[in-house]
Each structure stands twice: as structure tokens, then as C-alpha cells.
Amino acid sequence: MSRKAKILRKTKETNIAVEVNLDGVGKYQIKTKIGFLDHMLEQLSKHSLIDMKISTKGDTHIDLHHTTEDTGIAIGECIKKALRSSKGIKRYAHALIPMDETLTRISIDVSNRPYLIWKVKLKVEKLGEMDTELFKEWFQAFSQAAGITLHIENIYGDNSHHIIESCFKGLARSLREALEIDKRIKNKVPSTKGVL
């Protein structure tokens, strides 16, 4: 069964189109009009092997908050839609991602019980044009919309670019493993409830 989905999310603040293929090769076309966010979402696609097309128009003349948050929501909704019943997925995964002086740990449960633990401290207020407080907003929006329990902990690091990039790469590697079909249970939902 194909695990692909498309969504359109249109509000008074943003207009977002997202397409994903969970069984892709990490191809991406990403245009949010926020350079650093594009760079992070490219990492997400490349390292998760989820093909992504993302086109975002937002009220960036106000600030970048709505565009960042709504892009997280739209990607999360699209991944959840592509998963359908979640039959056969491995469900749990974690990654320990080094990036130069930085080490970040990510753990996820694709459980339909969204929750974010964010233990990340950044030393600067901006990365590129983005306020660094917006990264928590992106991960919060994504985890809620995707129905994923997501724990992110930067264990150590100095460079804020490296810290945030390790968070996105850790999410990517965790998604790659958790969304993979386990051949031993390929027609079953990985829960004693029978549903996620």
C-alpha cells in the first residue's frame, strides 16, 4: 500500500501545500521563504528518506512565527495522513546525533499521543533571520499534528546552528526507523489496544 499524502492548509496567516512519500529516498523541494527553516527541513527529508514537497506563503511581513508554526502543523498532518492506520510500523525509535562539538538525543513514539519534551538551550536569539524561540514552536506544532511523543535533549554543545541542526537530523533518523515497516508484524498495529 502506498504511504503518500498531500494536504493544503490555508488560514488568514498562511497558505501551505505539503506532499510526502514515507517510502521515498529523501528527495525534497522546499520553499518556506525562511532560509534557515528551509535548510532544516531539507535535513529532515534527506535523513528520514521521506520525500517532501513543501510550499509555504505566510505573513512574514509581521514576523516568522505563523509561517514556522503552521509549516510544522502541515508537515505533521501530512505524515499522519500518509501513515493511515499505522499497521506494521516499528513505532519507537531514538537517535544520538553528534555534530562537531554538539551531541543531541531524540526519542520518539508514533503513538497518536502527542507530547513534546524540549530540553534545548540556545545561546543566541537568532539563527539567520529566525528567532531561536521559534524552533520549539516548530517541534511542538509538528509533534501535536503528527500525533508523536517527541523527546529532544541537547546533551551538550556550544554552536547554536549545530544544536538545532542536530535536533532536526535526530528527528529525521528517528522517523526513518519508527515509520519503517517491521516485516514480522506488517499487517498489525503495534499496540495491545489494536489501534493507535
pTM of the model: 0.95
Residues paired with residue 4 on neighbouring β-strands, in sequence order:
21
Amino acid found at 108: I
Q: Quick one: cell of 136?
A: 520549539
Q: Please, which pLDDT band fits residue 114 given cuts at 50, 70 and 90?
A: very high
**pLDDT, tens only, 140-193:** 999 999 999 999 999 999 999 999 999 999 999 999 999 999 988 878 877 767
Element holding 56 (H helix, E strand): strand 51-58
Residues paired with 9 in a beta bridge: 16
- The 10s digit of each residue's pLDDT in 32-66 is 999 999 999 999 999 999 999 999 999 999 899 99
Residue ranges and CATH numbers for the domains of the chain are 4-185 (3.30.230.40)
pLDDT, tens only, 82-113: 998 888 999 999 999 999 999 999 999 999 99
User: Which helix (H) or strand (E) segment is 92 a member of?
Assistant: strand 92-99
CA distances from 98 to 40, 147, 149, 170 (A): 16, 26, 22, 9
Q: Can you spell out the DSSP letters for 131-162?
A: ETHHHHHHHHHHHHHHTEEEEEEEEE-S-HHH
